[in-house]
Copies of this chain bind each other. A is one copy, B any other.
Amino acid sequence: MPKSNPGRFFEDFSLGDRIRHATPRTLTDGDAALYIALTGSRYALFSSDEFANQNGLGRAPIDPLMVFHIVFGKSVPDISLNAVANLGYAEGRFLAPVYAGDTLTAESEVIGLRVNSNNKTGVVYVRTTGVNQLGEPVLSYVRWVMVNKRDPGAPAPQEHAPTLMDAVPAGDLVAPPELRFSPDYDTALAGSSYLYEDYEIGERIDHVDGMTVEEAEHQLVTRLYQNTAKVHFDAVAQLESRFGRRLIYGGVVISVARALAFNGLANAALVLGINGGRHVAPLFAADTIYCWSEVLDKADLGSTGALRLRLVAAKNRSCASFPGKEDNGGYNPAVILDFDYWAAIPKRA
């Protein structure tokens, strides 16, 4: 039996399995600096210990999206090494801030299984939890992936499609208890004067700027997350694939788009929840990401406001006309990401 990990096939998953993932990871200032270098993020809360401290946090936390990618990366060798496609996310909640020096581990529970009609693949649903060195959960989310069967003739497992919420209810969001936006919250330093009250449900924002992604860039950041999915790294193997080349990890698209979204949402730094997300089309090296946002909902969480935002990214074209779903129900061909999340934003004092 080979000592290298061939990855699980569909038959290797059973409902209720709990899988502890490898490579505990201490996040450091080095990771945070790389995240800025690789995404261009400018949110003050993650860039400045002073700014974070003025708003109740001990120091600048690690960007929650980086926490997501780190936890996600750990699950790849166990869950999605033989995945055909990442189908979706749901019920993502950030449960405690992560700071440089914290060590994260991750575990996934198989909460759903469904064989596809072709009998060659099946869908695996897992709830993945990231935990810090104190044993406190910092993140929980569901994802589902299409996984190859090893043997098309293998018997179908006990089927179970979990019931998932369309969105995390505002009441389930966990703002860090220590977060206290200052009455002197500094909008000049934050980069925008628009606060919770200034956003309206239905409002759309073009984030204007574009970011071209290079092969070296997406590989660097995806390796930083210790995500091992071959499709991102092995140009030779990808020659045999449908696209003939490396695919950029969808998390790179999410993070670059969120960094671009600073221009219009500078005060909505802290992601609290992930309601859903769809990687509508692949991104390749040398493509340029543009994006726009729509305010889907608002909620007053007491210590902070929260916006439910839809972040749509497109490639190689401006988002000034808000490309999204077309009249026929399909997406504009430039769209690559449709992401639905909650972010904290200060209320007016």
Interface residues of A (CB under 8 A from B): 2-6, 20-26, 28-34, 36-40, 42-44, 47-51, 59-60, 77, 100-101, 103, 105, 133, 188-192, 194, 198-199, 205-212, 214-217, 219-221, 223-224, 226, 228, 230, 233-237, 246, 263-266, 286, 288, 316-317
Contact = CB atoms under 8 A, between A and B. Distances in A.
Contacts of A317: 236
A39 B38 CA distance: 16
Contacts of A207: 4
Given A6-B208, A28-B29, A47-B24, A77 B191 contact: yes
B28 A226 contact: no
Contacts of A198: 3
From A37, A230, A317, name the one whose CB has the most chain B CB atoms within 10 angstroms: A37
Tell which of A60, A223, A233 has the most Cβ of chain B within 10 Å.
A223
Nearest to A27: B33
Contacts of A59: 26
Contacts of A210: 230, 233-237
A50 B36 contact: no
Nearest to A36: B224
A208 B44 contact: no
Q: Which 4 A-B pairs have the closest CB atoms?
A: A30-B33, A22-B191, A28-B29, A24-B48
Given A210-B237, A212-B235, A216-B214, A23 B47 contact: yes
A33 B31 contact: yes
